[in-house]
Structure 1
Amino acid sequence: MAHIIVVGNEKGGAGKSTVSMHVATGLARCGQRVGALDLDLRQQSLGRYLSNRQRYLAAEGLAHLPSPQFHELPTIDPDTLQPDENSQDRSLSTAVAALEGSCDFLVIDCPGSHTRLSQLAHSLADTLITPLNDSFVDFDLLARTDQDGQKVLGPSVYSEMVWSARQLRAQAGLPALDWLVIRNRLGAQAMVNKAKMQAALDALARRIGFRTAPGFHERVVFRELFPRGLTLLDLPDIGVTQFSLSNIAARQELRDLLRALNLPGVDVDF
């Protein structure tokens, strides 16, 4: 059975697809067999990222770069459904079944909104990664705070959805979900908001049960790599021999994230 990693929250623009792509390719470079699903049926950012990758490899005549095995969600014939069975539930379970027997890890990228597919994926997650921009606008999906951002008043909509997923896993006799909230697009400066965010996350982590880790700083390189379907780890394979300090730091951020996930059987050696 594959270890299922779900990357999700209910807000767009937090870097979910970037995290999904780099985690999936990073695990592939660690010698793991990795599958990938994209549940954003409209935007399909992860699916397009991987499609760009295949086109780039073909155009450049490159034989291979370590990559996840991508599987599109199948279309379900309504006539095959059982009474009260939902077509999206069947579609996701079919896609997961097609990958998990041949994969060590399955990375599922969720849309930036609350959907039935996203809710179901969260209940399947062994590891949940929630990227969060360093802003109380994003934090509000996790919890409500007072006007100064100093006191957590209570969990918000996304935390409640994760709690429901945890209950479903417990009822099914599955291991507890490991939830990691990562702070994305951090600025380099030490600002007051940065310290307030860290304090609020630390307080909420103890209250509702997640771990925190740094994500990726704001870097142009992530946007530049998308059209070619490349990640930071691919640059030496396409002939890049000199790296900027920003690229070196970004590679280290990815190593730190993969180590923070503490995934079974993974040795981060790149």
Structure 2
Amino acid sequence: MAQPQVIVIGNEKGGAGKSTLAIHIVTGLLHAGRKVAVIDLDLRQRSLERFFANRAAWLKANGHELPQPIVPDMGDGKALHKADEAEQLAWFEAAYAEAKASADVILIDTPGGDTVLSRAAHSRADQIVTPMNDSFVDFDLLGQVDPVTLELLKPSIYSESVWEARKHRAITEGRQVTIDWIVVTNRLAVAEARNRRRLEERMAKLAKRVGFRVGPGLRDRVIYRELFPFGLTVADLSNDIRPVSVSLAHVAARQELRNLMQALGLDDALAPLDAAA
């Protein structure tokens, strides 16, 4: 029996847009007919879990149908947050086993920080997707630069975490394991061209050194925030499902999602997006 693909959305810094990225990847895959299970490891906030709860409630209230992910028993997030690491890991193993038995894709949204659950998720990843804001503040988590010359000095803490995950997979599986790591420039803003160029140059150097790809992310668009309370994304909009007015910005947002899915190699999700465009 084929093993499900495991996609981990990871970045130890908060505010990079992990959950926004996660919900769009999941809905893109759902519309492609994939069986997707979601595990939300942000025990306190649970944005991913709440998004799909909103989706179910809105669809029921409005008499519409849309594909839904498989959501394993997530337990009491607040209680788990206060539990010891052994109890947290036991809960994760149970949720992961439930997802593995019923899905062909498992997407895990990790919290902003180094936790035992985040490390466990990364060690199971086939693909790690890391959103990064367009600044050296976020880059500092991936690589350290010289404060005078801005030259790349060495990988930083999150790059080391991914290296540890790769090493763990190689040891436990007894073979060389390739985890596809892609860093996406998320929430792009209007930035000074010189600073952006400097950042892109350091990203390219670090990518070669630690082994990740650079891909397109999602801009900071109003439409993403407008649709969240309904549990919807731009992939869900149609003539029947349109809780907000549609504009050319929505067409651009759908193209962003298409570019993201293509960069992730999730080509089977492109046809539904093209058909709905």
Contact 2:133 2:187 in 1 (8 A): yes
Aligned with 1:268: secondary structure? helix
Match of 2:63 in 1: 61
- 2:38 aligned counterpart, secondary structure: strand
Does the Cα contact within 8 Å between 1:142 and 1:155 map onto a contact in 2?
A: yes
Any idea what the Cα deviations from partners look like across 1:188-241, whole Å, max 9, x if unmatched?
566222212211111100000000101011111111111111111111141479
How many correspondences in the alignment?
259
Q: Residue 268 of structure 1 aligns with which residue?
A: 270
Instruction: Report which stretch shifted further, 246-255 or 147-156.
Output: 147-156
Gaps of 5+ in 1: 76-84
Kept in 1: contact 2:141–2:158 (CA 8 A): yes
Task: Please tell me whether the aligned partners of residues 180 and 261 of structure 1 are also in contact (alpha carbons under 8 angstroms).
Answer: yes
Inter-CA distance 139–241: structure 2 relative to 1 (3 Å threshold) = closer
Question: Structure 1 242/45 Cα, relative in aligned 2: closer, same or farther at 3 Å?
Answer: closer
Matched, 1:44 2:31: no
- Match among 250, 255, 260 for residue 257 of structure 1: 260
Identity of aligned residues (%): 47
Gaps of 5+ in 2: 77-84
Distance in 1 (CA, whole Å) between partners of 2:144 and 2:126 is 26
Q: 1:109 matched to which residue of 2? A: 109
State the match for 1:16 in structure 2. Answer: 18
Equivalent residues of 2:28, 2:269 under 8 A apart: no
Deviation at 1:6, TM superposition (A): 0.3
Q: 1:1-270 alignment to 2 at 5 Å?
A: 1-62=3-64, 64-74=65-75, 86-147=86-147, 150-173=150-173, 175-188=177-190, 191-236=193-238, 237-239=240-242, 243-263=246-266, 266-269=268-271, 270=273
Superposed CA RMSD in Å reads: 2.0
Q: 232-241 or 198-207: which moved more?
A: 232-241
Q: TM-score, normalised by structure 1?
A: 0.90
Whether the 8 Å CA contact 1:34–1:104 is kept in 2: the answer is yes
Separation of aligned partners in 2, 1:72 and 1:260: 31
Query: In the alignment, is the contact (CA less than 8 A) between 2:216 and 2:263 conserved in 1?
Result: no
- Residue 12 of structure 1 and its aligned partner are, at CA, apart by 1.0
Partners of 1:74 and 1:94 within 8 A in 2: no
Shift in CA distance, 148/25, structure 1 to aligned 2, threshold 3 Å: farther
**How many angstroms apart in 1 are the aligned matches of 2:88 and 2:52?**
23
Quick one: structure 1 residues 108 and 220, their matched pair in 2 at CA, closer, same or farther if it must change by over 3 Å?
same
